[in-house]
Amino acid sequence: MNFLTVILIVASLLTTILAIYAWNKRKVFETYTLVGLLFSISVWSIASVFKLVVESLAAKELINFLGYLGIVSVPVWFFLFALSYTGISKVGGKVYRFLLWLVPLVTLVSLSTNRLHWLYYTQSTIENIMGWSYHNVVHGPLWWINFTYSYFLITLAIILFIRMYVNGSNVQRKSLMIIIVASFFPILSNVLYVVGLKPLSFIDLTPLAFSFTGIIFFWGIYSSNMLAVKPIALNKLFNSLSEGIVVTDKDKRIIDMNPSAQRILMINTGCIGKPIGEAISSDIDFETIQQVNQYERVLIEGKIAEANFSGIVIDNGEIAGFVLLVRDISERVKVESALRSASERIELAVLAAGIDTWENDLIANLRIGGSRIFTELGYSDNEVPSTIDQVYNLVHPDDIEYLKKRMQEHFDGKISVYSCDFRYRDKMGNYQWMSSYGRLIERDIEGKPYLFIGITLNINNRKQGEEKIQRKNKELIRANSEKDKFFSIIAHDLKGPFQGFIGLTEFMSENLADMTTEQVQEITGSLQTTAKNLYELLDNLLNWALIKRGHKRFNPEKVYLRSLVHIVSELFSSQLKVKDITLINRIDEDFVALADKESLKTVLRNLISNAVKFTPHKGIVTISSDLADKSFLLVAIVDTGIGMSNEIRESLFAITKKVSRPGTDNEPSTGLGLILCKELIEKHGGRIWVESTEGKGSAFYFTVPSAN
């Protein structure tokens, strides 16, 4: 008896350890039924030990009742474990599970109140056998009800295990064999106890047998990882897959299906046992066995699907059955169609807009795409840049720094989208305007810019149009300014001298008889000066108008500068004499210009006139020449006059600004002469400029083509 007690204690401890282990691993095993089963066995085993060692009847009955908490629970938990392990744990739902506990609850109530009705035990006494206090009971009708119910649940559980063993794989069969064999030990022990065929007539070894079953489970869990491949996990996966699965036997009769298959194929569990070709209405070919992962597109109940019907091959190479894999791709086809349509529309829009897309790998310095722009620029396919540095080499030197600055601002988060207008060099060496937009979409693990995508658009025509508009605007502003200048001259500079001229002639006609010879000479001298100024003004207006209308005759010929300067200087002999100004001609006699003679004469006349006009008495005007370069001659008209301020100097050649002031003897000035000079010199391909110091004089320079 001491040896038996030790065995029961050891079995109880092992079962308790197993129960705790199962509780700690409940999330791994994904089931609580095994935990309940093992804890119930542990309670039953521990109660059996204490029931042997206590001596009073009241103590034995109390421990017997506590032991029954495990006794009535073991069959229920065993059955629930079988349901869970074999993959049909959802059968019946919560109400069904509650009903399973109804008989155990009635048993516990009837046992606790047995002395009131004696229906569970008809007799409960203590017997001393072999020096041991033994609880002797006679079973009543309620005991037999609980006995029958318990073995009914245990038998159903074993049947489920055996059924699964027959239909399971080799891996599952090994685990199931352990479970089935271990399940028969407590049944055999309990049957021997009930019928009286036991090693000891007064001891129920069923808890010891259940403990042995628990130990075997423990060994299976620990050594062979039995529950890691348990069907519950496979069934959970089977039922949760979005892909429909239908399993058939060798005769192609349906034996199982998952919820996705029922939804896609519009079938239900009522089709189990039917030939798959009759149960499923589709154009799937069930006669041809496909290779695994070889899907064909089919139409099922108006839905587009992909299906694969292949064999289930067992270890010996034989086909044990077939499996139909089907997935509904209707939505995917719609999305693919929409994406394809959108992609084609975008591609068409990009093509129509002339947009070129590209992708820069900033880490590897690689350029992907963006070839269209470069082929438009005349480069061949093998000349299209493949690196970012090669792209930069084609950017205009004046634009590259700005482009990189804008890109860095985007990388630093200062601007949400990179945008920049710049110029690319084409195959001919010319530059064309581009507009580029981009966005950084990925950084590396260190946070450095990695993937940069964008588009480039050739805007050269637009830029040329904008520049043309700007030129037109400038020309319009210039034309308006010239018009205002023209009207100003007519309204003031031309009208004023004529009024003075008319006034003098009227005075002479009215007072000629009373005038002295000196008065007549003075008035006629004024009339002569006024007439010369008017002639000069009218000549400038005429030439300017002809240039603006494009009617000015331009006939370049060889012109000897020194002789032309001499001829023009003679026009100012009287003015030079009156102001006692010395004019020095230092033009090289060998210098020959290729110019329009009349235009050049007009330029010299205006510049010499200005020099004389703004030089005081006893001043000096010097005209000299030099070589500007191999193809141009330089002419300088330098005076010792009053000079001019920076403000006046900067506005001399601007048609938009009126610059006129009287000469040193109050000679009139319109400011039109210098503007006319600029037009005529630029028509020759030369340029004109001035250097002046206020109070010291001015120097006008111009260049004309050389004929030497």
SS3 of 305, please?
strand
pLDDT at 678 over 80: yes
Tens of pLDDT, residues 277-324: 888 877 788 888 888 778 888 888 778 888 888 888 766 677 878 888
Q: What average pLDDT does the structure give for the chain? A: 80
Q: What whole-number distance in Å separates Cα of residue 296 and Cα of residue 279?
A: 20
Tens of pLDDT, residues 99-113: 889 999 999 999 999
Evaluate whether the domain defined by 553-705 bears CATH number 3.40.190.10. no
Of 167, 170, 165, 177, the residue nearest 315 (C-alpha)? 170
Domain parsing of the chain, residue ranges:
2-232, 242-334, 354-458, 553-705
Equal fold, 2-232 vs 242-334? no
Dihedral sign for Cα 164, 168, 172, 176, please.
Answer: positive
Q: What whole-number distance in Å separates Cα of residue 582 and Cα of residue 577?
A: 9
* Angle formed at CA 340 by CA 337 and CA 346, multiple of 5 degrees: 140
* pLDDT (mean) for 125-137: 73
Tens of pLDDT, residues 593-648: 999 888 898 889 889 988 998 999 999 999 999 998 889 999 999 999 999 988 88
For residue 441, the model assigns a pLDDT of 92
Of 65, 67, 80, 71, the residue nearest 34 (C-alpha)? 80
Map 540-551 to HEC letters.
Answer: HHHHHHHHHHCC
The strand pair at 620-627 and 582-586 is best described as parallel
CATH fold for domain 354-458: Beta-Lactamase (3.30.450)
Map 322-375 to HEC letters.
Answer: EEEEEEECHHHHHHHHHHHHHHHHHHHHHHHHCEEEEEEECCCCEEEECHHHHH
Q: What whole-number distance in Å separates Cα of residue 45 and Cα of residue 175?
A: 25
Q: Torsions phi, psi of 688, nearest 5?
A: -135, 140
Tens of pLDDT, residues 375-432: 889 999 899 999 999 999 999 999 999 999 999 999 999 999 999 999 999 999 999 9
CATH code of the domain made up of 242-334: 3.30.450.20
Distance of CA 70 to the CA centre of its chain: 63
Which pTM value belongs to this model? Answer: 0.39
pLDDT at 273 over 50: yes
Distances (CA, A) of 641 to 343, 515, 605, 607, 618: 77, 37, 17, 13, 10
Class (C level, CATH) for 2-232: mainly alpha
